[in-house]
Amino acid sequence: MANVSLQQIGKSYGGSVAVEAFNLEIRDGEFLVLLGPSGCGKSTTLRMIAGLESITTGDLLIGDTRMNNVDPKNRGVAMVFQNYALYPHKTVSENMGMALKLQKMPKADIEERIAGVADMLGLTDYLERKPGSLSGGQRQRVAIGRAIVRTPEVFLFDEPLSNLDAKLRVKMRMELQELHDRLGVTSVYVTHDQVEAMTLADRIVIMDGGVIAQVGTPREVYDKPATEFVAGFIGSPAMNFMTMQLASDGSWSSTESTLVLPELPGFDTRGADTVRVGIRPEHMTILDASAVGDDPWVLPGKVMLAELLGADALLTLSVCGEIMTARVNGVGYPEQGQQLAVRLNPEQLHAFDRESKKALQV
């Protein structure tokens, strides 16, 4: 086990920059998730740790050794690939044992290790099978087994669950979590799926356009998104955003609708007269239309669309002409076309600088 340190790591292909000035200390035994949309540089970062991509600038340390120019096999890392990358002509056991065989480990030791890992992953009955005759979930287990057998310092996962169907994905996610609890090996996990990130991660690194947008625990990135991008990326359905302008009486009015909000609760707007205000669909309270009145945070609205998800329902609302999504209980929610009132909970508002997109501090 080891900590991983990325210091000013950068990657560029010719003129185009894929990853820029990436600084991160991954703690020993931590489960770190790199999250972001496709093309944000998360896979490139992972592949630089693996040694499959060269590092253009900066230093990579695993343990306390600089690994920039070390062969992948000598970095003490093992990788689980998105498409499993199992050798199709070799048996499960041969797939799992390949690295050890190449290290010239005695055959009996290899077999013993494979047997142990196969037992842990429920693969014992499949050891002599070829990957082609296994199901997607079994193949994924073999790919994970191949990584475990090597007893690496660091596990690297490159979107390992994205080829599985939804049900299996949930199951494997739990297995991965169990496995990490049991082995306690430092893990770096790349995904574009925020549910995987939220459930698996000790800390999430959210990347956007080759740079880190935020590093934090799942709780932190959800509660205190550092940028508008993070705020919009984490949470489903996405946060509602409004562009608000300061009026002379201290209230804020939307530039796109007739929505007016009272003085924003304590945000340091640094004198800016236009900010982006965000609120999550789950932080809006639906009230009866008659509730509009005394409380300036209660606004009149109309249901444009109501969608039942099961436990929850999503309402697409027009609030003073501003289109917003609210998440409500799936039982007894208002119908399409109904007039109502919405309370935006002021303590759960977010505000972002219009230019820098950074969160404004309270």
Partner 1 sequence: MNAFNTLERRTQFVGIGFVTPTFLVIALILVYPVVQSIVLSVGQSSVDGFEPYQFVGLEHYAALMEDDRFWRSLSVTLIFTAISIPLELMIGVGLALLMNESFHGKGLARLAVLFPWALPTALNALIWRWMYNADYGLFNAIGLESGLVSEPVNWLGDETLAMASMVIVSVWKTSSFMALIILAGLQSIPRDLYEAGRMDGMSRWQEFREITLPLLKGSIMVALIIRSMDALRTFELPFSLTDGGPDSATETLSLYAYKVIFEFVEFNAGSAIVVVQFAVIFSLSLLYIFTLRNKD
By CB under 8 A, name the binding residues for partner 1: 50-52, 71-74, 77-79, 81-83, 85-89, 98-99, 102-103, 146
What is the β-pairing status of strands 186-191 and 154-158? Answer: parallel
Q: How far is the CB of 37 from partner 1 (least distance, A)?
A: 21
| Residue nearer to partner 1 on the CB measure, 96 or 303 | 96
Cα 72 to Cα 78: distance, rounded to the nearest angstrom: 9
Q: Which is nearer to partner 1, 15 or 132 (CB)?
A: 132
SS3 246: strand
Give the Cα separation of 228 and 134 in Å (integer).
43
CB atoms within 10 A of CB 83: 12
Output phi, psi for 240, to 5 deg: -85, 135
Name which of 141 and 350 has its Cβ closer to partner 1: 141
User: Between residues 77 and 306, which has the closer beta carbon with respect to partner 1?
Assistant: 77
Token pair 């939220």: residue = 198
Cα 327–chain centre separation: 21
Smallest gap, in angstroms, from Cβ of residue 102 to partner 1? Answer: 5
Is the CB of residue 191 less than 8 Å from the CB of residue 37?
Answer: no
Give min distance, CB of 81 to partner 1, in A.
5
- Residue placing its CB nearer to partner 1 in the complex, 13 or 87: 87
| CB-nearer residue toward partner 1: 20 or 159 | 159
Alpha-carbon 342 to chain mean position: 30
For residues 150 and 78, give the distance between their C-alpha atoms in angstroms, rounded to a whole number: 7
Rounded Cα gap, residues 196 and 109, in angstroms: 35
- Give the whole-angstrom CA distance, residue 356 versus residue 350: 15
Residue 147 vs 201, nearer CB to partner 1? 147
Nearest distance in Å: CB 109, partner 1: 16
CA-wise closest residue to 350 among 225, 244, 187: 225
Q: Tell me how far, at minimum, the Cβ of 72 lies from partner 1, in Å.
A: 5
Residue among 273, 260, 252, 274 at smallest CA distance from 322: 260
Q: Which is nearer to partner 1, 111 or 220 (CB)?
A: 111
Q: Give me the phi and psi of 290, to 5 degrees please.
A: -75, -10
